[in-house]
């Protein structure tokens, strides 16, 4: 057999197989890309089937037929839906969601302006929910059947049952209108407008970086009520799931073995049981954070918080479909991204999931 035949038999000249981690990385990015394209497709179709006419919203109902048809042609509404989506997808991948009718600015600029407010509100609410919800859930599991357990369970039930818009209005009535302990709606008082140059878009960080502590204190006072309302929901969910996970771990045999060995109860709970619970809580906290980012519409409406949720709501009322679609896509991308990040962290922390 010749040398060339030997090389062919051994597969010489062919590409070596890809390492497993490269295959998983490619699969991850393909999944991410398909998810985002699917999200954009669903959002676009919903925006087109809604009983609103973008061309009519721009020209007004008093415009002539010629002006109306010219606007339809300019927006490409005369083309088939699949062609409209392809044009939208190409523009969206380049960061162009069109122009907002309501603000007369590019939708991307509006998102850059309003989204940091929602990010600030949801992040603070999640931090409060984690700091309070996890200890409450652990304590309820350790004291199962006792008064503290019943209190935490009732607290969680209220957090799930009470409409957040009603709770927000009651909080405004009590703490702002009656007691006057906290400022009213808005992100800060109007006379602080323009005092701090936006760098990150998060007013608490920007005011602290600029050394404008009056603005910082005023913004902190304004964010307490809306963040507390969102944190109440997050806290209830995290506490409930923590309690459930802890009860499952405390009934395992390794916990009984640790107690038989004479380990302190604090070590058994936090170093053994909670260490296994912590892996599951990564997903819970990630889901809670993503839910607050997309579900803060009612809170932002009640408290006049200038975030992406209020922006989408006002745009919908004004038939500003470019803004609605752009804002919805951004929120959806954040939701998918946070879920995938939680999955990655889960696999990093727990070797069994790799």
Does residue 8 register a pLDDT over 70?
A: no
What is the reported pLDDT for 239? 93
What is the reported pLDDT for 165? 83
Q: Phi and psi at residue 99, in whole multiples of 5°?
A: -110, 140
Q: What percent of the chain has a predicted confidence (pLDDT) above 90?
A: 24
pLDDT, mean of residues 311-318: 84
The CA-atom distances, in angstroms, between 29 and each of 37, 195, 230 are 12, 42, 32
Q: Measured between alpha carbons, how far is 321 from 101 in angstroms, rounded to an integer?
A: 8
Residue-wise pLDDT for 133-159, tens only, equals: 999 999 999 998 899 999 999 988 888
Are 264 and 90 within 8 A, CB to CB? no
Hey, what domains does the chain have and what are their CATH numbers?
Answer: 18-93 (no CATH), 112-163+227-353 (1.10.3720.10)
Mean pLDDT, the chain, rounded, equals 84
Are 37 and 89 within 8 A, CB to CB? yes
Entry pTM: 0.82
Written in H, E and C, the secondary structure of the chain is CCHHHHHHHCCCCCCCCCCHHHHHHHHHHHHHHHHHHHHHHHHHHHHHHCCCCHHHHHHCCCCCHHHHHHHHHHHCCCCCHHHHHHHHHHHHHCCCCCECCCCCCEHHHHHHHHHHHHHHHHHHHHHHHHHHHHHHHHHHHHCCCCHHHHHHHHHHHHHHHCCHHHHHHHHHHHHHHHCCCCCCCCCCCHHHCCCCCCCCCCHHHHHHHHCCHHHHHHHHHHHHHHHHHHHHHHHHHHHHHHHHHHHHHHCCHHHHHHHHCCCCHHHHHHHHHHHHHHHHHHHHHHHHHHHHHHCCHHHHHHCCCCCHHHHHHHHHHCCCHHHHHHHHHHHHHHHHHHHHHHHHHHHHHCHHHC
132 compared with 39, residue with greater pLDDT: 132
Q: What percent of the chain has a predicted confidence (pLDDT) above 70?
A: 92
pLDDT-derived band at 63 (thresholds 50, 70, 90) equals confident
What is the reported pLDDT for 123? 92
User: In degrees, to the nearest 5, what angle opens at C-alpha 285 toward C-alphas 281 and 289?
Assistant: 170
Residue-wise pLDDT for 157-189, tens only, equals: 888 788 888 888 898 999 998 888 888 888 988
Does residue 25 register a pLDDT over 80?
A: no
Residue-wise pLDDT for 325-334, tens only, equals: 888 888 888 8
């Amino acid at each position: 057999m010749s040398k060339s035949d030997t090389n062919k038999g051994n597969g010489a000249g062919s590409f070596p197989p890809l390492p497993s981690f490269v295959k998983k990385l490619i699969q991850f990015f393909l999944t991410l890309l398909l998810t985002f394209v699917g999200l954009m497709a669903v959002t676009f179709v919903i925006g087109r089937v809604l009983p609103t006419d973008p061309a009519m919203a721009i020209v007004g109902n008093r415009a002539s037929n010629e002006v109306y048809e010219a606007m339809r042609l300019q927006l490409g509404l005369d083309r088939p839906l699949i062609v409209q989506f392809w044009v939208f997808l190409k523009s969206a991948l380049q960061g162009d969601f069109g122009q907002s009718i309501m603000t007369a600015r590019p939708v991307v600029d509006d998102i850059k302006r309003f989204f940091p407010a929602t990010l600030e509100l949801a992040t603070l609410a999640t931090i409060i929910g984690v700091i309070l919800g996890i200890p409450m859930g652990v304590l309820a599991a350790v004291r199962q059947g006792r008064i503290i357990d019943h209190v935490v369970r009732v607290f969680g039930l209220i957090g799930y049952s009470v409409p957040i818009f009603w709770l927000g209005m009651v909080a405004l009535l009590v703490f702002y209108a009656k007691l006057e302990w906290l400022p009213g709606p808005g992100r800060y008082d109007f006379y602080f407008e323009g005092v701090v140059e936006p760098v990150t878009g998060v007013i608490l960080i920007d005011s602290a970086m600029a050394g404008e502590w009056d603005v910082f204190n005023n913004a902190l006072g304004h964010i307490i009520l809306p963040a507390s309302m969102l944190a109440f929901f997050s806290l209830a969910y995290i506490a409930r799931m923590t309690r459930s996970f802890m009860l499952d771990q405390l009934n395992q045999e390794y916990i009984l073995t640790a107690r038989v060995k004479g380990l302190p109860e604090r070590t058994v709970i936090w170093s053994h049981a909670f260490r296994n619970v912590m892996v599951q809580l990564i997903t819970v906290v990630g889901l809670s954070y993503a839910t607050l980012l997309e579900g803060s519409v009612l809170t932002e409406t009640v408290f006049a918080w200038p975030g992406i949720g209020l922006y989408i709501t006002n745009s919908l009322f004004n038939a500003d479909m470019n803004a609605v679609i752009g804002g919805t896509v951004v929120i959806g991308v954040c939701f998918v991204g946070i879920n995938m990040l939680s999955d990655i962290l889960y696999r990093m922390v727990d070797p069994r999931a790799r």
